[in-house]
Amino acid sequence: MIEVDRAGRSFTVGRGSARRTVHAVRDLSFTVGAGEFVGYLGPNGAGKSTTIKMLTGVLAPTSGRLRVAGLDPTRRRTALARRIGVVFGQRTTLWWDLPLKDSFQLIRYLYKVDRIDFRRRLDELAGLLDLGSFMDTPVRQLSLGQRMRGDVTAALLHDPAVLVLDEPTIGLDVVSKAAMRDFLRRLNAERGTTVLLTTHDLGDIEKLCRRVMLIDHGRLGFDGTLDELRATGPDGDSLEEVVARLYTGSAPGTPAPP
Amino acid sequence: MVRTYLLLAWTWLRASAQYPVSLAMMVLGSFAVNALDVAAIWIIFQHTGSLGGFGLAEVMFLYGTADMSFALADTLFGNVDRLSHHIRSGSFDTMLIRPASAFVQMATDRFSVHRFGRLAQSAVVLGIALPRLGLPWERTWMVPLMIACGVVIFAAIFTLGGALQFLLTDAPEVANAFTYGGSALTQYPLSVYGEQLVRGVTFVVPLAFVNWQPALYVLDRPDPLGLPYWLRFAAPLAALLLALAAALAWRAGIRRYRSTGS
Ligand SMILES: Nc1ncnc2c1ncn2[C@@H]1O[C@H](COP(=O)(O)OP(=O)(O)O)[C@@H](O)[C@H]1O
Ligand SMILES: [Mg+2]
């Protein structure tokens, strides 16, 4: 479903003598099969969002190749958009000034969703994510939890085969977080939707992901099951301790290499 | 593409209708500001009988056609020059993940009726100027054509300005200088400017084809600079070439798009 082959993305930043190249992602390779639920972990600035932007065709890779749902994201961006759903936790993909239901209506048109399918799916999603009370509210007036539920609904109205989420639980309270997890788990189990999820919340990972990938400084540091991840540390270590050790590549507290 | 445009514009229009009073104020405001331009022309003619060799009705005609082209282009595509704002806020990322042209999404973003203020004003000016000119029928066909070509030229300049912002995310003003500067320049007969400038806007940035060259044909005037007669019919070609350049620049911009960190 997702194939990444030695993909890299660098940015030149700064001007004049301060000019340098930042390698946000380097030499990244992995594949994700249909129906998998994969957690994508990494400290701030590790390259998670950059990876997601390459997978969705927002950013062109500077090296390597990617394929998502059988398409090259950069070349076939709009065709790919119909096959995947994307949620950015930090910003909404909805229309800020429009009532939620107008946003959904627009999405129905843009994604060319059949009217009957749309009604059925919207009713189902609205029920599961409890959207009823704020369907007429402009997006800018929604609380973060409400907005996030709206965003997830918007990403799924066209029934994509792949759902990519960049920190979907960031800033959510305990109840919203639990509801979101429950929803994603069911989506994956019942519909077979492939899910790739970045998060800082190890709770998300423990509750949802069979497979975990860990990225640091733009490189893939670990790719395996949750149990294999735990097994990299001594018995009795919490997942937090295990992950922290992997981030720095050695003992916790050691500064990251430049 | 056209249907997507209409649908998005209509949705925004409906959303903006929630604030009818502020909308009416904005329409009136932009109407009034542009009316000052016309007042300035009228005052000039109180002191002199002609401007660059053209009478009042002729200058109003030049002003009206350029302004109508600009107003239409601005209404339809002007928002494209807000690209750097969308890049910085991250909302351009979200446009790219939707299965619709990012250009159309940019152009229609926050579409509202206030965009029509300037259009109404240019229609009034043309409505006054045209009957006074008493144009012969065999030349009037050029008027809608020149306005259409003007729309394409200004839209292309807006697009080039937007494309430039893929590189200069922090300097949208550079692009604005071209669009708004171009609109101001074409409001007067080009014969009031120096020869170098006129050649520049004929052959480099083809602003002379927004109204000046085709107007020479409509008004049946000799070219004060003595440029070839066929240039009067070259507006469609100029518009096409500029639109092509703009489309390529926009595509190249999207290729090179770098988003923002986190
Ligand atoms: N558009 C950009 N321009 C310059 N640097 C960027 C850009 N996007 C990301 N980066 C840099 O690339 C690295 C990875 O960023 P990102 O993928 O956002 O990390 P994460 O999402 O894992 O926190 C960071 O060092 C960040 O500063
Ligand atoms: Mg990120």
Q: Which residues of A touch B (CB under 8 A)?
A: 11, 44-45, 49, 53, 56-60, 74, 77-79, 81-82, 86, 88, 90-93, 95-99, 102, 105-107, 109-111, 138
Residue B46 CB coordination number (10 Å): 7
Cβ–Cβ < 8 Å for A210, A222? no
The 10s digit of each residue's pLDDT in A27-57 is: 999 999 999 999 999 998 999 999 999 999 9
For ligand 1, whether the C-beta of B176 sits within 6 Å is no
Rounded to the nearest angstrom, the gap between the alpha carbon of residue A98 and the centroid of all alpha carbons in its chain is: 24
Find tokens 């009136």 and name the residue. B28
pLDDT (mean) for B148-158 = 94
Domain extents for chain B? 2-8+20-258
* pLDDT higher at A105 or B38: A105
The gap from C-alpha B199 to its chain's centroid, in whole angstroms, comes to 20
Taking the CA of residue B102 and the nearest CA in chain A, the distance in Å comes to 10
From CA A130, how far away is CA B88, in angstroms rounded?
32
Q: Is B11 in the pocket of ligand 1 (CB under 6 A)?
A: no
Query: Does the Cβ of B89 fall within 6 Å of ligand 1?
Result: no
Q: What is the Cα–Cα distance from A174 to A185, expressed in whole angstroms?
A: 16
Inter-chain contact A58–B255, Cβ cutoff 8 Å? no
Q: Around Cβ B86, how many Cβ atoms within 10 Å?
A: 21
Residue B116 distance to chain A (closest CA, Å)? 20
Counting residues of chain A whose pLDDT is more than 90, the rounded percentage is 63
More confident residue, B43 or B97: B97
Helices (H), chain A: 48-55, 77-81, 100-110, 115-129, 144-156, 174-186, 202-208, 226-231, 239-248
Instruction: Output the pLDDT for position B172.
Output: 61
> Which of B88, B89, B98 should be substituted to probe chain A, the one whose Cβ sees the most A Cβ atoms within 10 Å?
B98
The per-residue pLDDT for B23 is 74
Taking each helix axis from N to C terminus, what angle separates B56-77 and B142-167, rounded to the nearest 10 degrees?
50
A88 alpha carbon, closest ligand: 2
What HEC string does B18-76 produce? CCHHHHHHHHHHHHHHHHHHHHHHHHHHHHCCCECCECHHHHHHHHHHHHHHHHHHHHH
Query: Please, what is the angle between helix A174-186 and helix A115-129, to 10°?
Result: 140
DSSP string, A6-51: EEEEEEEESSGGG-EEEEEEEEEEEEE-TT-EEEEE--TTSSHHHH
Q: Do B255 and A60 make contact, defined as CB atoms within 8 angstroms?
A: yes
Torsion of CA A67, A71, A75, A81, to 10 degrees: -110
- The confidence band for A105, taking pLDDT boundaries of 50, 70 and 90, is very high
B225 touches chain A (CB under 8 A): no
- Cα A10 to ligand 1 centroid, rounded to whole Å: 9
Among B11, B96, B257, select the one facing A98 at the smallest CB separation: B11
Distance CA A214, CA A5 (A): 16
B93 contacts in chain A (CB < 8 Å): 53, 58, 88, 91
Inter-chain CB pairs, A–B, below 8 Å: 75
How does strand A2-13 pair with strand A63-68? antiparallel
Residue ranges with CB less than 5 Å from ion ligand 2: A 48-49; B 262
A251 pLDDT tier (thresholds 50, 70, 90) = very low
List, in order, residues 6 or more apart from B81 with CB less than 8 Å away: B158, B161, B162, B165, B172, B175, B176, B179
**B262 CA → ligand 2 middle, Å:** 5
| pLDDT (tens digit per residue) in B202-238 | 877 888 999 999 999 999 999 988 899 999 999 999 9
pTM of the predicted model, to two decimals? 0.88
Percent above pLDDT 90 for chain B: 39
Convert the pLDDT of each residue in B168-200 to its tens digit. Answer: 766 666 667 777 777 888 888 888 888 888 888
Task: State mean pLDDT over B144-154.
Answer: 95
Contact criterion met (CB below 8 Å) for A125 and A156 = yes
| B99–A contact, CB cutoff 8 A | yes
What percentage of residues in chain B have a pLDDT greater than 70?
Answer: 97
CA angle B151, B155, B157 (to 5 degrees): 120
pLDDT tens, B69-111? 999 999 999 889 889 889 988 899 999 999 999 999 999 988 8
Residue nearest to ligand 1 atom 7, measured at CA: B261
For residue B121, is pLDDT > 80?
Answer: yes
Average pLDDT of chain A to the nearest whole number: 89
CA of A26 relative to ligand 1 center, distance in Å:
12
Task: Determine the distance in angstroms separating the CA of B84 from the nearest CA of chain A, rounded to an integer.
Answer: 16
B98–A110 CB contact, under 8 Å: yes
User: A249 or A244: whose pLDDT is higher?
Assistant: A244
Q: What secondary structure letter does DSSP report for A130?
A: T
